[in-house]
A = this chain, B = another copy of it.
Amino acid sequence: MKNDKYKTIINSINSKNIVLASQSPRRAQLLKLLGLNFQICPSHVDEDSIQIKDPVSHVLELSRAKAKEVADSLEFGLVIGADTIVVLDGQILGKPADKKEAADMLSRLSGRTHQVYTGFTVLENPGGNDMFDYEVTNVHFRDLYDWEIEGYVNTQNPFDKAGGYGIQDQSAVFADRIDGCFYNVVGFPVTKFYTRLLKMLNY
């Protein structure tokens, strides 16, 4: 069978007791695309407790904190942590607290290019491998109508999402182009993660 190698590699990765330290359903869905089996065990890291203004340091540090918290409670396994942020003019936009803040964020993003950063960390127990990296994608929003912003903030969609939008929901029509990794905008840069994982595991 010519596809033995693909299956062998995926099976071998799956034997490692993979744990995803994230409650994002989008991230779980993306890892499943790869054929990976894993448990979900969200970390309890307080995202607001980390005050790092540099986007790359921010997502790397937070992804590591999330992975480490879960890995520390695990004797055997491979833990994946990730963190995604939205950056406009060098400033990190968090999750909006209310409708007004969500509408303000979307008004600022309207007609502009912002950056989506995701950092990821993989920690393997017992004390072995350790890997981290990040991806950044430019996202351009067309000029939004006020009534579109108002319609969107009246849904529940903006409130659990950095920057106040999710490209996989009704706000799909806000972005008219991106430049960079496709799935990073959804919340997990699956291509870079996969190639780095293959390298970490010496495939």
Residues of A with Cβ closer than 8 Å to B? 2-3, 5-7, 9, 30, 33-35, 142, 147-148, 150-152, 154, 167-170, 172-183, 185, 190-192, 194-195
Contact A182 B195 (CB under 8 A): no
Cβ-defined contact, A6 with B147, below 8 A: yes
For residue A195, which residues in chain B have a CB less than 8 angstroms away from its CB?
142, 173, 176
Distance of A136 from chain B, by nearest CB (Å): 11
> Per a CB cutoff under 8 Å, which of B35, B150, B170, B172 touches A2?
B150
List chain B residues, Cβ under 8 A from A183. Answer: 172
Contacts of A170 in B (CB 8 A): 33-35
Q: Min CB distance, A156 to chain B, in Å?
A: 13
Give the 5 A-B CB pairs with smallest separation, nearest first: A6-B151, A5-B147, A3-B154, A173-B194, A3-B151
Number of copies: 2
In the complex, A170 Cα to B9 Cα: how many Å?
14
Contacts of A173 in B (CB 8 A): 34, 190-191, 194-195
Q: Which residue of B lies closest to A139 (CB)?
A: B182
The CA-CA distance from A9 to B150 in the complex, in Å, is 13
Nearest Cβ on chain B to A1's Cβ, whole angstroms: 8
Q: Which of chain B's residues has its CB closest to A174's CB?
A: B191
Residues on B with beta carbons closer than 8 Å to the beta carbon of A182:
167, 172, 175, 177-178, 182, 185
Q: Report yes or no: B35 in contact with A5, Cβ–Cβ below 8 A.
A: no
Question: Which residues of B sit under 8 angstroms from A3, Cβ to Cβ?
Answer: 147, 150-151, 154
Question: CB-nearest residue of chain B relative to A32?
Answer: B170
Contact (Cβ within 8 A) B172 A34: yes
